[in-house]
Structure 1
């Protein structure tokens, strides 16, 4: 497998990027423009009503971000000219046929010009409506694949998935493709069309009763969780991402397909600036995290390595095998950073900070919640009953908050208490090739190079705090 000089592989190439206003896609756009200014065109698919609105979204949500500071400094007064020569915002949406691109002439131009497609678009909410998740995460990739097959010069399609589509069990979780209709429960199978029909049927049943918008929304959310767990996945997000992998594998034909499966993506490590992040989603237990710039470096290497190779390739972009880190490091780094950089309140006084408890097991977390929250809440319920519902308002408020905490804990538990480790042997082979061709510094995706204590203390936690303050 010859990679050669990775940046040179993008020279005079046209790339379609979906989900272009999202966290990962922004890092990708910036990186490609910085390392290969002679890229021909980056077509950025944006949800917008027209070209002007699409351009405005790209300007506000992509180009004006701090992430582009290095590029802005490099090009100076010519920055705007350079950007708009290379970037072409396209109004559309992957949930529609032809990616929602209504202009037939524009579609023809894209089909003749595009060399690579990188599908980053997704809804990443763990507790999202099932109908929305099916549209974006399943039918969306299907439409991308169909569009890709119309591109006469296409060299590769890369689809961003998640490592959590695999069965979580002790030991190595392998980089292998999911089989169509395969579930994470033995002897249980499912059909994607049946799931889509189920959603439509359930929506009609709900709408017959004329529910409020909130009632329908909650019912669709719960249906997604119910179906995901019935088949062995922890939530709607990973369930629908698994479906997308299956569909793409079935539909690709001879088209070169790369599935990139990152774990938990954190702020950038160093490239182009340390600690850049968007959207905060935040023992002896190991957490599998990987900085966003390393994810992009790996994706770029994958695209170059597998252009014009008529096969499907699966990669975990992870850290739990090569450089595992536990929650104790995050806790220690967080407490150390806050102690050295205390927050000041509006009154000018230092805000007192307390150590957050870190739990080694889900059982210990549940025991803590029971003793500190559920038991006092139950006592309040009894007192409220004895005193003729004197504290009903307070009880209902606390009970509602407790239910939200328990739901969040339920959704995030599989990510916090991972049983296995994500094997990355395929990615290690790719790393070896990049080192062989001298690209490993510019396109570094080896988590062994990260000092986790330094990363969390000096980069990630300050980045998260800056984002929270904004």
Structure 2
């Protein structure tokens, strides 16, 4: 395989992107428009009833973001005209047949013109309703591959994290992470549908349905060895893709924990508080004295995902005979531990403390007490938050609200804290390493092309990340600026 120029590869291409309002999809769209303005078209599929609603979402949730400020600066007064020529927002629903595109002529145009499909549509909530997660993450994959069968395309599928010591290998149909039971996607889908029908027959409230379906998602995920419904349904989606893709050239990108932008279009941009960043923010607000986790746990992070995806697409166009899976992360070649993040967070927030509601600086504890189990954490917060309240004389308590209300508030706080710890326990106690030989081979092959412009613009070498500089001067400042409320 011989690489050319990514710039030339993208020239004249038409790319269809699902999940266009998502974090990675925004980064992909911005990067392509910035490095190759001669792209023919980007069809951006957004969850919407019609094109008008899709256009509004594109403007409000994509183009209005600060991420696009560099591109706006490049085009100045011509920005709106440029965008109107290159982007087309399409209302869709990936969980239904034909991706929910109701306009027949529009659907036929997409089928005829699309060169590449990037499926970034996903619900990434760890505690999502099983029916919602299955519809988007699992059945969405089937609908995407059925759509792609009518195109002459390359397809990139962004998959969620797998757990354990994982090679860059595909899931076999029916494979589980614990080996305790045979996974049947049809049965999982049937169980989900039957539970919904049962709840509807009982005239259950929407709140009850949501609660039951979320709990069912956790139960089914854990049964097969997955830590949450997000990872479970994404894995099933990958199984479907590999079984049904036929001759369609397919790339599966498995990014690990995604952090803020490393350098492009500018350092530190992030949207929302994500995974490990929740603990950084809690620490900065003085609310993280203890947590489940180990200081030795490696945080497998990725902040150059888009670069690797674009280079992988170029590689696939040169040799489309097999499916390739790429792990995009840092644990193998440039490990970064919880202890490193804790020390750097302490340095940052000591020098640049957050302020409380009264404008006073928040003091952070130097060290977090890490606990090796959720049960240990539960005992601790019960002792701290609940036991002191027992036996209090309500009549003697001078307070603006009743003891019962105060007790209820404490119970809610404990429940929320326990929920967070259960969701993040697999990540905070994770002891595996992700193999990335495919990604490294891709990088080395690209290096041999000796295109200095591409090497600089499409770097995804994790060893080039200086974690101290990045966390202190890029990531935490970006997190505070763009995500902390």
Query: TM-score normalised by the shorter chain: which range applies?
Result: over 0.9
Question: After superposition, where does 1:39-438 map in structure 2 within 5 Å?
Answer: 39-151=39-151, 153-154=152-153, 156-164=154-162, 166=163, 168=164, 172-281=165-274, 282=278, 283-291=295-303, 294-307=304-317, 309-345=320-356, 347-348=358-359, 350-355=360-365, 357-359=367-369, 362-363=372-373, 366-371=375-380, 373-380=381-388, 382-383=390-391, 391-437=403-449, 438=451
Query: In the TM superposition, what is the alpha-carbon distance from 1:49 to its structure 2 partner?
Result: 2.4
Question: Could you report, residue by residue, the CA deviation over 1:195-224 in whole angstroms, capped at 9, with x for unpaired residues?
Answer: 111011112222232222211111000000
Question: In structure 2, what is the Cα distance between the partners aligned to 1:304 and 1:358?
Answer: 45
Moved over 4 A (4+): 344-348, 384-390
Question: In structure 2, what is the Cα distance between the partners aligned to 1:343 and 1:328?
Answer: 21
Question: In structure 2, what is the Cα distance between the partners aligned to 1:370 and 1:179?
Answer: 40
Query: In the TM superposition, what is the alpha-carbon distance from 1:359 to its structure 2 partner?
Result: 5.0
Kept in 2, the 8 Å contact 1:380–1:395? The answer is: no
Three-state SS of the structure 2 residue aligned to 1:383 is coil
1:6 aligns with 2:6: yes
Question: In structure 2, what is the Cα distance between the partners aligned to 1:382 and 1:64?
Answer: 51
Question: In structure 2, what is the Cα distance between the partners aligned to 1:295 and 1:343?
Answer: 30
Indicate the RMSD between aligned Cα atoms, in angstroms: 2.1
Question: TM-score scaled by structure 2?
Answer: 0.90
Query: In the TM superposition, what is the alpha-carbon distance from 1:34 to its structure 2 partner?
Result: 0.9
1:464 aligns with 2:472: no
Structure 1 unaligned runs (5+)? none
Three-state SS of the structure 2 residue aligned to 1:441 is helix
Question: After superposition, where does 1:436-455 map in structure 2 within 5 Å?
Answer: 436-437=448-449, 438=451, 439-455=454-470
Question: Could you report, residue by residue, the CA deviation over 1:133-177 in whole angstroms, capped at 9, with x for unpaired residues?
Answer: 0101011111011001111x32x100000232x4x1xxx421110
- In the comparison of the two structures, how many residue pairs are matched? 458
Question: In structure 2, what is the Cα distance between the partners aligned to 1:300 and 1:20?
Answer: 16
Question: TM-score scaled by structure 1?
Answer: 0.93
Question: In structure 2, what is the Cα distance between the partners aligned to 1:59 and 1:398?
Answer: 41
Kept in 2, the 8 Å contact 1:14–1:115? The answer is: yes
Query: In the TM superposition, what is the alpha-carbon distance from 1:286 to its structure 2 partner?
Result: 1.1
Structure 2 unaligned runs (5+)? 279-294
Three-state SS of the structure 1 residue aligned to 2:204 is coil
Three-state SS of the structure 2 residue aligned to 1:58 is helix
Kept in 2, the 8 Å contact 1:284–1:360? The answer is: no
Question: In structure 2, what is the Cα distance between the partners aligned to 1:53 and 1:183?
Answer: 39
Three-state SS of the structure 1 residue aligned to 2:457 is coil
Kept in 1, the 8 Å contact 2:258–2:301? The answer is: yes
